[in-house]
């Protein structure tokens, strides 16, 4: 009798395991944790893709903005989440720079698995339209006029706008004042309001440039950007500055590969939807069509490139 009971228990446990494995994903709402404030491009991508996935899955995709700490708050949160596919991180360049620039991270980068790269962008220096600075020469002259005379905002410590600003300062041999915010939206508000001189944003700023609210000085790209043909490159203006950001999805590394594969495939399908594709393209972001493995290799190469960049330029980033 005891043997029979044990056999029945084993059968039931196996049946439950098979049933759980075969259960469709997702069975409940999925949360996209955005490591930035609402309104920035990372948030825009998460919401556009999430809305389409919600239609595909018949389950809501909730967007939870956990900004602050140079993306550390949101990243740490997802790094400690269960690896079941229901908590996904949407983040940007700070995932590359934080491990290089910060001595003590609140999370282990290895605890997160790179899932899908949405695309890569180029940093563009923009100023408020009311700024008396009209050209790159004007900006450089302001920066050299006195230590800290030029104030540049960023979306946070170790973010791509911060890195670009420090690289720019190194190029011109002058000190700048870096003012970090909890995302691009509040940073841009102060640029538009004249509280700070400018910010290194991406081509997503072009609608405000064309509306006369911002002035685009130059873009840190090897060639002119197709969505910003009227903006010269730094190289055209005599400065060798090429730099940009990237945007992508991550999941806890404990997430089963089968779920990672489904998430990758479904997110790719959502991005390829004409409405979503158009929404992303309007920000000036070229969409990456590579695999999960290619994203993982991209991040390794980007981390190595950034380390070499910091070492070769001697740039000093103030990050606690």
What are residue 152's DSSP bridge partners? 178, 198
Q: How many domains does the chain have?
A: 2
CA 202 to CA 124: how far, in whole Å? Answer: 5
- Which of 78-82, 143-147, 174-178, 313-317 has the lowest average pLDDT? 313-317
Q: Say if residues 252 and 81 touch (Cβ distance below 8 Å).
A: yes
CA 46 to CA 250: how far, in whole Å? Answer: 12
Average pLDDT of the residues in 158-170: 91
Q: Give pLDDT, residue 318.
A: 56
| Together in a domain, 132 and 99 | no
| Together in a domain, 83 and 95 | yes
| Together in a domain, 115 and 259 | yes
What is the side-by-side order of every strand in the sheet holding 177-180?
177-180, 151-154, 198-201, 124-128, 214-219
Contacts of residues 45-50 at CB distance under 8 Å and 24 or more positions apart, as own/partner, are 45/90, 45/118, 45/247, 45/280, 45/283, 45/285, 46/90, 48/275, 48/276, 48/279, 48/280, 49/118, 49/267, 49/270, 49/271, 49/276
Average pLDDT of the residues in 163-187: 92
Q: Could you tell me the pLDDT band of residue 27, with boundaries at 50, 70 and 90?
A: very high
Average pLDDT in the chain: 91
| Together in a domain, 92 and 198 | no
Domain limits at 214?
124-244
At residue 4, does pLDDT exceed 70? Answer: no
271 assigned to some structural domain: yes
At residue 118, does pLDDT exceed 60? Answer: yes
Q: Give pLDDT, residue 314.
A: 66
| Together in a domain, 117 and 198 | no
Q: Give pLDDT, residue 153.
A: 97
91 assigned to some structural domain: yes
Higher pLDDT residue, 183 or 195? Answer: 195
| Together in a domain, 240 and 142 | yes
| Interval 46-73: pLDDT, tens | 999 999 999 999 999 999 999 988 899 9
Q: Say if residues 219 and 124 touch (Cβ distance below 8 Å).
A: yes
| Together in a domain, 142 and 225 | yes
At residue 159, does pLDDT exceed 80? Answer: yes
Q: Give pLDDT, residue 157.
A: 86
Q: Say if residues 189 and 272 touch (Cβ distance below 8 Å).
A: no
| Together in a domain, 108 and 217 | no
Average pLDDT of the residues in 180-194: 93
| Together in a domain, 46 and 100 | yes
At residue 1, does pLDDT exceed 70? Answer: no
State the pTM of this model: 0.85
CATH code for the domain in which residue 117 is found: 3.40.190.150
Q: Give pLDDT, residue 319.
A: 59
Positive or negative torsion for Cα 269, 271, 275, 278: negative
| Interval 275-318: pLDDT, tens | 999 999 999 999 999 999 999 999 999 999 888 878 876 666 65
| Together in a domain, 69 and 139 | no
| Interval 215-243: pLDDT, tens | 999 999 999 999 999 999 999 999 999 99
Q: Give pLDDT, residue 20.
A: 43
Q: Give pLDDT, residue 104.
A: 86
Q: Give pLDDT, residue 312.
A: 73
14 assigned to some structural domain: no
Domain boundary among 229, 244, 259: 244
| Together in a domain, 132 and 230 | yes
């Amino acid at each position: 009798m005891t043997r029979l009971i044990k056999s029945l228990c084993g059968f039931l446990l196996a049946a439950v395991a098979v049933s759980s494995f075969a259960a469709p994903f997702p069975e409940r709402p999925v949360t996209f944790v955005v490591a930035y404030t609402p309104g920035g491009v990372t948030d825009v991508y998460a919401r556009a893709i999430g809305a389409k996935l919600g239609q595909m899955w018949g389950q809501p995709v909730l967007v939870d903005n956990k900004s602050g700490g140079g993306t550390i708050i949101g990243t740490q949160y997802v790094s400690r989440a269960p690896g079941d596919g229901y908590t996904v991180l949407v983040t940007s360049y700070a995932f590359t720079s934080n491990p290089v620039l910060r001595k003590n991270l609140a999370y282990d980068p290895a605890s997160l698995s790179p899932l899908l790269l949405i695309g890569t962008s180029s940093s563009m220096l923009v100023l408020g339209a009311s700024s008396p600075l009209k050209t790159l020469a004007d900006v450089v002259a302001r920066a050299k006029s006195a230590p800290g005379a030029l104030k540049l905002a960023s979306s946070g410590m170790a973010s791509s706008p911060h890195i670009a600003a420090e690289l720019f300062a190194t190029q011109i041999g002058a000190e700048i004042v870096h003012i970090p915010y909890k995302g691009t939206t509040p940073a841009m508000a102060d640029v538009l309001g004249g509280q700070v001189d400018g910010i290194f944003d991406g081509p997503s700023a072009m609608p405000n440039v064309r509306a006369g609210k911002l002035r685009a000085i130059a873009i840190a790209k090897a060639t002119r950007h197709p969505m910003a043909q009227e903006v010269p490159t730094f190289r055209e203006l005599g400065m060798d500055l090429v730099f940009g950001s990237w945007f992508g999805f991550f999941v806890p590394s404990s997430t089963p590969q089968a779920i990672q594969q489904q998430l990758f495939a479904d997110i790719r399908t959502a991005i390829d939807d004409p409405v979503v594709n158009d929404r992303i393209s309007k920000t000036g972001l070229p969409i990456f069509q590579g695999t999960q493995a290619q994203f993982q290799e991209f991040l390794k190469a980007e981390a190595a490139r950034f380390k070499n960049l910091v070492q070769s330029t001697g740039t000093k980033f103030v990050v606690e």
